[in-house]
């Protein structure tokens, strides 16, 4: 196992969002996508829709998502039409014909960068292709500085159930160092409007360990979050993937004006945040989330991590359908042009083996902090306690995981470092490869 204590923050992906690693996917897997799309589902499987809206006012130093800061209004309209063509093409295939998503997620980029008119057109077109009248959850990510009251009202009218505010930090200096587009005062204005409009769930995003972060600032961020009293809070530990401007500076040896905290410090800050949230009545639901009461859920996470189909549309979006992973073109031009030609804009794919599907669900469910081994025996015919005996014993000896009442449960210390532990459950050929 890799060392997990007092380690500096170096370049690379820390957060495990899927399995097998994206670097294992390739164009050779694309025929499997056509096969699965041409077969109607033989069993009832939840369906989710992810829509990637990649436009931003600025690119944050730590951002590793596919985003564009240079597109004009015409290019944005063209992109929206391409997304609608893409989802319509999928809706015509046997796998999705008559499909009704149970969850919809608009991510970015900055979905709230779009105008009200663009959003109405996009929502109407998506619902026409894949009606989501049965959807239990519609999540929409926002950057506070792009929100005005009419836009917030339109999002509620369009059916958004969770408005997720990418606050990350409340301190003007830390926001500036991270090249965030929004300003501190815009946070409170946008939040007040969202609360007045009456969204069932407002989520606040924070990042532990942004450039310039300090003990005092972190404690102040948690207290300000509690003053807002959102229904849920999402907290991530800062990482520096290779495709970030922050990595470019690290690679070139340019000194940061303020250092990035090491992993032990970030875990301590996460522990403090979770403890304070629990003290205020929140329940910790995963390595990153806290919810105000039992009625607050993250359906897209729970469904996706237990094997639901998720169709991702938009540039660079990835999908999981019936044991096949696939991802779209990662550049604006090829993505839009292929959609306009009536093609599916696919770039790479991977058909998972039965064992890989089992490992995927095992590692993702571990991120919630607890899982039921008997569910894996029923679904995959695998005794995961026996299959993973060696890493489980090592993690138990370290105090990170334990078997309690028949469930595999992570200690708080284990939960805070769970993404580092997950690699020990990967197949050998996936443990030391580049994740993306």
Statement: residue 232 has pLDDT above 60: yes
Using CA atoms of 357, 363, 367, 370 in order, give the dihedral in degrees to the nearest 10. Answer: 90
| Band (255; pLDDT cuts 50, 70, 90) | very low
Q: How far from 41 is each of 97, 102, 355, 360, CA to CA, in Å?
A: 10, 16, 21, 21
- Specify the CATH number of the domain 22-303: 3.80.30.20
Interval 316-365: pLDDT, tens? 999 999 999 999 999 999 999 999 999 999 999 999 999 999 999 999 99
Least confident of 59-68, 233-242, 275-284, 293-302: 59-68
Can you give the pLDDT at residue 251?
A: 73
Statement: residue 2 has pLDDT above 60: no
Distance CA 436, CA 429 (A): 14
Distance CA 181, CA 179 (A): 6
Pairing of strands 370-371, 407-410: antiparallel
Q: Which contacts of 169-173 are long-range, i.e. CB under 8 A and separated by 24 or more positions?
A: 169/206, 169/207, 169/210, 169/213, 169/217, 169/221, 170/220, 170/221, 170/224, 171/212, 171/217, 171/220, 171/221, 173/212
Residue with tokens 């997720």: 164
Beta bridge partners of 164: 141, 203
Distance CA 238, CA 419 (A): 13
Can you give the pLDDT at residue 278?
A: 98
Can you give the pLDDT at residue 250?
A: 74
Q: Whole-number mean pLDDT of the chain? A: 94
CATH class of 353-430: mainly alpha
Residues 6+ apart with CB under 8 A from 196: none
**What does the pLDDT average to over 178-191?**
93
| Band (289; pLDDT cuts 50, 70, 90) | very high
Can you give the pLDDT at residue 5?
A: 61
| Band (8; pLDDT cuts 50, 70, 90) | confident
Statement: residue 308 has pLDDT above 90: yes
Can you give the pLDDT at residue 260?
A: 82
Least confident of 213-217, 252-256, 322-326: 252-256
Q: Looking at the chain, which residues constitute the CATH 1.10.10.920 domain(s)?
A: 353-430
Q: Is the dihedral of CA 401, 403, 405, 406 positive or negative?
A: positive
Q: What secondary structure, in 3-state letters, does 136-149 show?
A: CEEEEEECHHHCCH
Q: Could you give the angle at which helices 149-157 and 184-197 cross, rounded to 10 degrees?
A: 40
Can you give the pLDDT at residue 4?
A: 52
Statement: residue 277 has pLDDT above 80: yes
Report CA 351 to chain centroid distance, whole Å: 22
Pairing of strands 201-208, 162-168: parallel
**What does the pLDDT average to over 225-232?**
98
Can you give the pLDDT at residue 9?
A: 84
Query: Six-digit token pair at 266?
Result: 């970030």
Distance CA 46, CA 66 (A): 27
Spatial contact of 179 and 210, defined as CB atoms under 8 Å apart: no
Residues 6+ apart with CB under 8 A from 50: 104, 105, 107, 310, 311, 312, 313, 314, 317, 319
Can you give the pLDDT at residue 44?
A: 87
SS3 37: helix
Can you give the pLDDT at residue 245?
A: 85
Whole-structure pTM value: 0.95
Distance CA 118, CA 59 (A): 22
Beta bridge partners of 232: 203, 291
| Band (118; pLDDT cuts 50, 70, 90) | very high
Q: Looking at the chain, which residues constitute the CATH 3.80.30.20 domain(s)?
A: 22-303
Pairing of strands 289-291, 232-237: antiparallel
Spatial contact of 411 and 421, defined as CB atoms under 8 Å apart: no
Distance CA 78, CA 157 (A): 24
Peptide bond before residue 20 is cis, with ω within 30 degrees of 0? yes
Can you give the pLDDT at residue 165?
A: 98
């Amino acid at each position: 196992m890799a060392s997990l204590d007092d380690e500096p923050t170096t370049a690379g992906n820390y957060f495990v969002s899927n399995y097998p690693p994206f670097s294992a996917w390739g164009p050779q897997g694309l025929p499997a996508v056509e096969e699965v799309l041409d077969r109607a589902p033989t069993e009832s499987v939840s369906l989710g829709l992810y829509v990637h809206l990649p436009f931003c006012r600025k690119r944050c130093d730590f951002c590793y998502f596919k985003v564009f800061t240079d597109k004009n209004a015409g290019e944005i309209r063209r992109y929206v039409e391409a997304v609608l063509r893409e989802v319509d093409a999928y809706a015509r295939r046997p796998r999705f014909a008559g499909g009704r998503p149970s969850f919809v997620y608009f991510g970015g980029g900055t979905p709230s960068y779009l105008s009200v008119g663009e959003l109405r057109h996009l929502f109407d077109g998506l619902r026409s292709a894949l009606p989501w009248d049965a959807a239990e959850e519609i999540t929409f990510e926002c950057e506070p500085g792009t929100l005005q009251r009419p836009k917030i009202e339109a999002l509620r009218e369009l059916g958004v159930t969770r408005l997720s505010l990418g606050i990350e930090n409340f301190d003007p200096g830390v926001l500036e160092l991270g090249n965030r587009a929004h300003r501190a005062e815009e946070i409170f204005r946008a939040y007040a409007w969202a609360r007045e409009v009456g969204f069932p769930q407002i989520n606040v995003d924070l990042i532990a360990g942004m450039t310039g972060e300090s003990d005092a600032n972190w404690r102040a961020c948690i207290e300000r979050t509690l003053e807002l009293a959102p229904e849920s809070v999402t907290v991530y530990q800062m990482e520096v993937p290779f495709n970030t401007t922050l990595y470019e500076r690290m690679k070139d040896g340019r000194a940061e004006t303020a250092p990035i905290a090491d992993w032990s410090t970030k875990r301590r800050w996460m522990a403090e945040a979770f403890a304070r949230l629990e003290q205020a009545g929140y329940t910790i639901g995963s390595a990153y989330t806290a919810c105000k009461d039992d009625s607050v859920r993250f359906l897209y996470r729970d469904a996706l991590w237990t094997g639901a189909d998720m169709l991702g549309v938009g540039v660079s979006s990835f999908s999981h359908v019936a044991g096949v992973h696939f991802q779209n073109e990662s550049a604006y031009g090829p993505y839009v042009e292929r959609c306009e030609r009536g093609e599916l804009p696919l770039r790479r794919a991977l058909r998972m083996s039965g064992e890989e599907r089992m490992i995927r669900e095992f590692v993702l469910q571990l991120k919630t902090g607890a899982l039921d081994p008997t569910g894996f025996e029923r679904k995959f015919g695998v005794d995961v306690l026996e299959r993973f005996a060696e890493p489980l014993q090592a993690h138990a000896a370290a105090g990170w995981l334990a078997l309690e009442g028949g469930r595999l449960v992570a200690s708080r210390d284990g939960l805070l470092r769970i993404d580092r532990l997950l690699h020990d459950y990967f197949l050998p050929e996936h443990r030391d490869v580049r994740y993306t």
